[in-house]
Structure 1
Amino acid sequence: MIAPSAKPDFRVEKIAAPLRQSVTESIRYAIALGRFTAGERLTERELCEMTGVSRTLVREALRQLESEGLIEVVPNRGPSVARLSAEQAEGVYQVRAELEGLACQLFAQFADNDQRAALHEAFRKLKRSFKDTDPLARLRAKNHFYDCLVDGTGNQALGDTLRLLNARIMLLRATSLRAPGRSAVSMAELSAMMEALDAKDGKKARALAEHHVHNAAKAAIELLYTQPEPAPAKPKRAAKQAAAARA
């Protein structure tokens, strides 16, 4: 769960365009950062209050998140946060290591000066974000860094494939960063990767990227294995009957 002092703001700017995409992103971040936990039921009212938008936009966002596998809709219960098992996480990380390793290799070979400058600026923002107490700022900065990396590969298919996994990658990225000491190690790994990219050493950059993902996988999966399974919530009627019986 998010530390109370952090208080990330998931409200959506009304000027953002397209608005539906911004609402979906806000709920996606809220799930990734533990605002809603695995198995927790998502109510339209709470999501409307959190994002500051209409039920129609929230419903559209929920349909998109269901297609991404981040939520599941149970008959007679409604949408809830999907559970990602350690085995599923391992599968995502295996694919992510290959894709991000390839992204680094291609970036080293093909990125132009503007794309390299954009990646450096994103990396500077990422380093600054790690000094921030807001986990949302850190996660946004990390995602932006990888967006810039993929933009410099010149490979649209690679970017499209990573976007298909984006929701689960982001969830796992937030999980790994919660591991004690992982943030500092992560930045050191990325710094080494940046040096290889600057040297245009694609082979080394790929190996460092894969090493970074493997370490992130270890941190996240250890947390997933140790997370206790929450007790299923009782239906409201059953809870009222139980309370009446105890009275």
Structure 2
Amino acid sequence: MGIAESLRVERAPAPIRSRVLDNLRQAILDHKLAPGQRLIERELVELTGVSRTSIREALRELAAEGLVTTIPNKGTIVAQVTVEEARQLYRVRSALEALAGQLFVENATDAQRRALTNAFRAVERAATKGPIVWLAAKDNFYDVLFEGGGNDALRSIAGTLHARINLLRSLSLTRPGRATESMAELAEIVAAIAANDADAAAKACSQHVEAAGMAAFSALTQEAAG
């Protein structure tokens, strides 16, 4: 399917704004809109068949997600991340999620523990439904994990980082077998929490991020070489 076919918005009962956003997001994650590519509103209007207002609203949301950025005198472009920037982001994320796992074991209520198990099961069910659905399910898993830790400052910092790392998360899934590995790593986090082992939970969270980082670095390196 070409870029025009993938972006075209069909008239349907669902809000047009949501479908424009979904189509643009998917095109970015699939690299049909490549990192560094300039996004011209007039061209996106022609490709999608919707109004300029809908395009602008979608671009604002994508900017909040960290998938596009605005550069003075250049306009809006698809976000791009270097290998070194990715390395720094994943190193910080590893530390934050290790702390989140530890705090969850120490502070989560029984209801939050059940919610985390349910969130993990939702991730398992979403595994065959494509990267956007699967990553959304993983987002919910992490929301429960950070909420159960009871540290608002940690949640806020992680949320800011999450927006910058969105594109890398999708990129890491392009490595063959990564999705299966990721599920096994999440299972280790859940098992450590079920065992009430804060140290093991922290380690499992950290290792999961490090493995995702290695997959993203590999994909970025291949992109640069190609």
Coarse TM-score class (shorter-chain normalised)? 0.7 to 0.9
Query: 1:98/1:47 Cα in 2 relative to 1: closer, same or farther (>3 Å)?
Result: farther
CA deviation digits over 1:89-137, x for unaligned, max 9?
00100010011111111111111122112211111111111133x2221
- Shift >6 Å, 4+ stretches: 7-12, 22-26, 49-53
Secondary structure of the 1:152 match is helix
Question: Would the alpha carbon gap of residues 62 and 101 (structure 1) be closer, same or farther in structure 2, given more than 3 Å must change?
Answer: same
Question: In structure 2, do the counterparts of structure 1 residues 141 and 47 end up closer, same or farther at CA, with 3 Å as the change threshold?
Answer: farther
Q: In the alignment, what sits opposite 2:195?
A: 199
Contact residue 107 and residue 152 of structure 1 kept, 8 A: yes
Specify the code of the residue in structure 1 equivalent to 2:122.
K
* Residues 85-94 or 123-132, more deviating: 123-132
Distance 1:222 1:131 in 2: 23
Cα offset, 1:76, TM superposition: 5.3
SS in 2 for 1:36: coil
**Alignment partner, residue 208 of structure 2:** 212
In structure 2, the gaps of 5 or more residues are: none
Instruction: Tell me the equivalent position of 1:135.
Output: 131
Superposed, which structure 2 residues align to 1:1-247 within 5 Å? 13-14=14-15, 27-28=24-25, 30-45=27-42, 47=44, 54-63=51-60, 65-66=62-63, 70-74=67-71, 77-132=74-129, 134-228=130-224
RMSD value, Cα: 3.4
Count the aligned residue pairs: 222
| CA distance in 1 between partners of 2:176 and 2:101 (Å) | 27
Percent of pairs identical after alignment?
42
User: Are the counterparts in 2 of residues 44 and 59 from structure 1 also a CA contact under 8 Å?
Assistant: yes
> What does the per-residue CA deviation read over 1:189-233, in whole Å, with 9 as the maximum and x for residues that have no partner?
111111001111111100111111111111110110110478xxx
Structure 1 or 2: larger helix share? 2
Following the alignment from structure 1 to structure 2, what is the Cα–Cα distance between the partners of residues 159 and 98?
A: 13
Letter in 1 for 2:209: V
1:71 touches 1:80 (CA, 8 Å); kept in 2? yes
Larger Rg: 1
Contact 1:105 1:205 in 2 (8 A): yes
Unaligned segments of structure 1, at least 5 residues: 231-247
Q: For residue 87 of structure 1, report the CA deviation from its aligned partner.
A: 0.3
Deviates more, 1:104-113 or 1:29-38: 29-38
Q: Any conservation in 2 of the 1:8–1:135 contact (CA below 8 Å)?
A: no
